[in-house]
Structure 1
């Protein structure tokens, strides 16, 4: 407990960091109990330490109007502008992580009846994600004008040095186009836009359109639907929609009492309660 207090009060670590360290200590404690049961009383005390509650963070995301404005910011008539449009479009359409994007190779795209991108996620897990026809057309156009430098085993997106993008490079591009879009309509950019915001935005928009959380979990590559549930908890528009629907049901079920029924109810209340 002194160690956990030190992390928070002297090392100025966040509550999340404190809880992560505690999780590591609990994992070690479980191991010791299995291998050296004579210490069970000591290490059970560690297992009984409760994690500290943290405030639920608001998930930052853009509206569909904000996404449209952001995607229109690059100049698609230049090679780099078309590349950047393809990057932003694919990040939003597939809901991919930054590392998944920069690891993409040309051979990971499948243009068929349903256009699909193959993403290599955490733990070397692979998932196939469908993309819209508009997004695939942008990518096809980018591949066509870059065909001299692209082979099937090449990275799909490269920087000005013809090398694989870095996470910082993608963040720089996004920041560049956010500034352009923000100047046109600052009301659509009330959150700080970073690469993961596009992933959050896609999840929120799927949820708002009635897509089941199970499908969104698989789409995003989450291990558990519990991780995906944060989008349902943090979406005010979704809450408003469901509250509105339920209020209509309540109004439809309201039954007006006639005068005799009201008098009988008042008599019963006076007799049994007053």
Structure 2
């Protein structure tokens, strides 16, 4: 086996195949790239194999399994993150199966490594009361406060992922007629989400504040930092945490200890579910590829379970057939008997 084969196929995978033929989002490509950066660092620092010396003859199922164990035990990666790294490795070796069939046996051995089952974690979401309290926190007398209110309102109203909101351009907002926002999610799939009237009024004020009612601004990010650069996920998280801390001091019982921007997405889905919206519509609203993913919300919502059980019980348990007089006579008889 040529010692340069690994580097050659890895370069071709990232520079040609993954960017031109897969349709992966930028975030997915970045995650896959990071996986191989970490893997090469592991080979260099732990196995003492320099990147330029790494070849397929030195790679084995055992080596990859030890790498995954190192991620968990030494780097303290969660099982979920460990599985994400494994998925990136699997994607490369599936590509290699087609491009270099001579390595089929190696590919099959690595593809046979299974993901670990992740522990079921309780899904956090905020009540409608908590959402209202949080949205009342920003100081709307300042431009910065109005901007922050728009970010928080759109996160909830659109159910957007944090990166989806960060990627929104001015031209993705439709203000005239039925207001909508265009979101680009995983796999570069776009979806159009309606925006409620109260939210679009806040958005209009923000656009006016920052002079975005301009055709030249259509292709610029809707949200930006002080340096005029696109607001990042970390920036949005910082803004949320700032207001969560303030709201928690006022109403500590309304907010869990750990809150991330994704909690708005969970909360919106739960509130739609509690409002009786069909799971199929919630799936499309959130941009899930399968309703199976959306079903997690139904399984995590005790109120939905309670209503379903009550409805089922009502249909099964026979109705009482005693009249009022018959009930009184029965009770009197029981008292005398006892």
Tell whether the 8 Å contact from 1:61 to 1:191 is kept in structure 2 after alignment. no
Cα distance, 1:51 vs. partner?
4.2
Equivalenced residue count is 255
Q: CA deviation at 1:220?
A: 1.1
Cα distance 1:86–1:7, how it changes in 2: closer, same or farther (>3 A)?
A: closer
- Is 2:255 aligned against 1:182? no
Counterpart position of 1:227: 293
What displacement does 1:107 show? 1.1
Mapped pair 1:70 → 2:155? no
For the Cα contact (< 8 Å) 1:117–1:130, is it kept in 2? Answer: yes
Alpha-carbon separation, structure 2, partners of 1:28 and 1:148: 43
In the alignment, which residue of structure 2 is the partner of 1:261? none
* TM-score scaled by length of structure 2: 0.66
Selected match of 1:107 from 166, 171, 175: 171
Equivalents in 1 of 2:184, 2:212: separation in Å? 25
- CA shift digits 1:1-29 (9 cap, x unpaired): 66365655566543334444555666677
From 158, 161, 166, the counterpart of 2:224:
158
2:181 corresponding residue in structure 1: 117
Distance in 2 between residues matched to 1:30 and 1:37, nearest whole Å: 13
CA RMSD of the aligned region, Å?
3.0
Deviation track 1:83-102 (CA, whole Å, cap 9, x = no partner) reads 11111101110011111112
**Distance in 2 of aligned mates of 1:235 and 1:79:** 37
Uncovered stretches (5+) of structure 1, i.e. residues with no partner: 257-274
User: What whole-Å deviation, never above 9, does each CA across 1:21-56 have from its counterpart, x for those lacking one?
Assistant: 55566667767877759977x977766665433321
| 3-state SS of paired residue (1:129) | strand
Out of 279, 295, 302, the position equivalent to 1:213 is 279
- What is the rounded CA distance, in whole Å, between the counterparts of 1:39 and 1:105 in structure 2? 44
How has the CA–CA distance of structure 1 residues 254 and 178 changed in structure 2, closer, same or farther, with 3 Å as cutoff? same
Tell me what 2:268 maps to.
Answer: 202
> Aligned to 2:311, which of 245, 263, 268?
245
- Partner of 1:117, secondary structure, is strand
